[in-house]
Amino acid sequence: MESALDWHSAYALLDWQVELGADEAIGDTPVDRFAHVEPPSAAKRKAAPEQPVRRKEIDAVEVARQAAQAAGSLDALREALGAYEHCALKRGARNLVFSDGHPAARVLILGEAPDRDEDREGRPFVGRAGRLLDRMLAAIDLDRTGETPDRAVYITNVLPWRPLQNRDPEPEEIAMMLPFVQKHIELVDPAFVILMGNIACRAALGKQGILRLRGTWTEAFGRPTLPMTHPTYLLQQPRAKREAWADLLSLKVRLSS
């Protein structure tokens, strides 16, 4: 049986209803607009609770340890440091400050972190503090530019990137860099390690209080180690140079024995 309305007639009636203000179709059964209906997502959650999404946290120290262990040379270690992306200091630094001096030197000097001058030049211990260190070393016949291991020194820092405003490194930052420092010293294989300042002592010895620690030989990284006051401190406190001279003489005795 054909419908009494053709398509054109039905369309005309619908258009007329829209003009009258109708905005929705009326169903065959009434709808209770005040009844509470749970959204499908809520009903689904009740039926089968969703498991929380767990993001795998990255162990930055373990990543550093694996990267450092894989480095078989100083060049490879430098590349591993340059590729390490978990230390925020890297994003605010101009240069990676890796090292300076003779890689076969008997003495390795471990500093703290680059300052503005070191960050700009990409070398540790430059500027006023670096010039003072060079004079201190020359007083006991050592030189960072020395061509023979017995007259040369090798210099690096706990952190290769400058902390903003020259602030002290955070414990987490030291922990991230420590595997690289350990591998660095292993590759250079010095006879003696000099810890310049509090941050170097904290990283190597787990202690700080350089005025109490300085001048007393101890052991770190499996080698005889001497804490000394940082040249920056000596520039601020010239009277402390006498104690620094005593520490240098102690190192000279060790080198002669």
Predicted confidence at residue 144, as pLDDT, reads 95
Nearest C-alpha neighbor of 115 from the set 128, 101, 132: 128
For CA atoms 204, 209, 211, 215, give the dihedral sign. Answer: negative
CATH number of 60-256: 3.40.470.10
Residue 153 phi/psi, 5-degree rounding, is: -135, 160
Identity of the residue numbered 187: L
Strand order in the sheet with 100-101: 100-101, 153-157, 107-111, 192-196, 223-228, 218-220
Q: Are 214 and 125 in contact (CB under 8 A)?
A: no
Predicted confidence at residue 58, as pLDDT, reads 86
Question: How is residue 37 written in tokens?
Answer: 């209906």
Tens place of pLDDT for every residue, the chain, 257 residues? Answer: 455 667 667 767 776 676 676 666 666 666 666 666 556 555 555 555 566 666 668 899 999 999 999 999 999 999 999 999 999 999 999 999 999 999 999 999 999 999 999 999 999 999 999 999 999 999 999 999 999 999 999 999 999 999 988 899 999 999 999 999 999 999 999 999 999 999 999 999 999 999 999 999 999 999 999 999 999 999 999 999 999 999 999 999 999 98
Domain ranges in the chain are 60-256
Q: Are 143 and 109 in contact (CB under 8 A)?
A: no
> Hey, which residues does 228 pair with through a beta bridge?
196
- For the chain, report the end-to-end CA distance as a whole number of angstroms: 119
Q: Are 199 and 113 in contact (CB under 8 A)?
A: yes
